Chains A and B, each alone.
Chain A
Amino acid sequence: NAGVMQNPRHLVRRRGQEARLRCSPMKGHSHVYWYRQLPEEGLKFMVYLQKENIIDESGMPKERFSAEFPKEGPSILRIQQVVRGDSAAYFCASSSSPGHRYEQYFGPGTRLTVT
């Protein structure tokens, strides 16, 4: 009974490159959430997706960031033209239904380092 899976666990990118972070929710979960945690700061909500739909992207930066959760396959958080300030831990969480939105299970995170 695998939990939420994220890969890669560590990602190093040079400034200007693209970063792609993947998240596979827990079995039976169709709701995915992405969070960013900057060094020494709390978690900040970025985006909430269901299969093929973005439900709430109020926490996503307006430029360079995008997220998708296709019908098949993992959810992807894409950061284009990365900058040093994008260096952070990115966590994905999943829940089983909107009614359980607040009972989220987190993945291990992807640590992005931009050099």
Chain B
Amino acid sequence: EDKVVQSPLSLVVHEGDTVTLNCSYEVTNFRSLLWYKQEKKAPTFLFMLTSSGIEKKSGRLSSILDKKELFSILNITATQTGDSAVYLCAVGDMRFGAGTRLTVKP
């Protein structure tokens, strides 16, 4: 059965800190790995990763995929309170992990 495991489940940091969120997976038909940010309502798309070793960047956020070790990390540098959200990872046929709840304190 396909599995997507995110860690940690929750994380509390202070503004300015750097965080690393993890997503490991076991899926039978890997096509891509996606990261979403979910605040109060709907998830918003962050990144789609298909190839190992190629970092995707968007401002203070970056992500990389390791298809050999079957995981991805999402980095957020210089965190701000607006980064507080649940970060979801999805793999294969849109199987989502449980998410990492990030809280950034002022």
B48 & A106 in contact (Cβ 8 Å cutoff): no
Chain A interface residue count, CB cutoff 8 Å, equals: 19
The interface residues of chain B lying within 8 Å CB-to-CB of A103 are 45, 48
Counting chain B residues whose Cβ lies within 8 A of the other chain, the interface size class is 10 to 19
CB < 8 Å A-B pair total: 43
B95 & A45 in contact (Cβ 8 Å cutoff): yes
B98 & A107 in contact (Cβ 8 Å cutoff): no
B41 & A109 in contact (Cβ 8 Å cutoff): yes
The interface residues of chain A lying within 8 Å CB-to-CB of B43 are 43, 91, 106
The interface residues of chain B lying within 8 Å CB-to-CB of A109 are 41-42
Q: Does B64 contact A (CB under 8 A)?
A: no
Interface residues of A in 67-115 (CB under 8 A from B): 91, 102-109
A-B contact pairs, 5 of them (CB 8 A): A4-B42, A44-B96, A102-B34, A103-B48, A104-B94
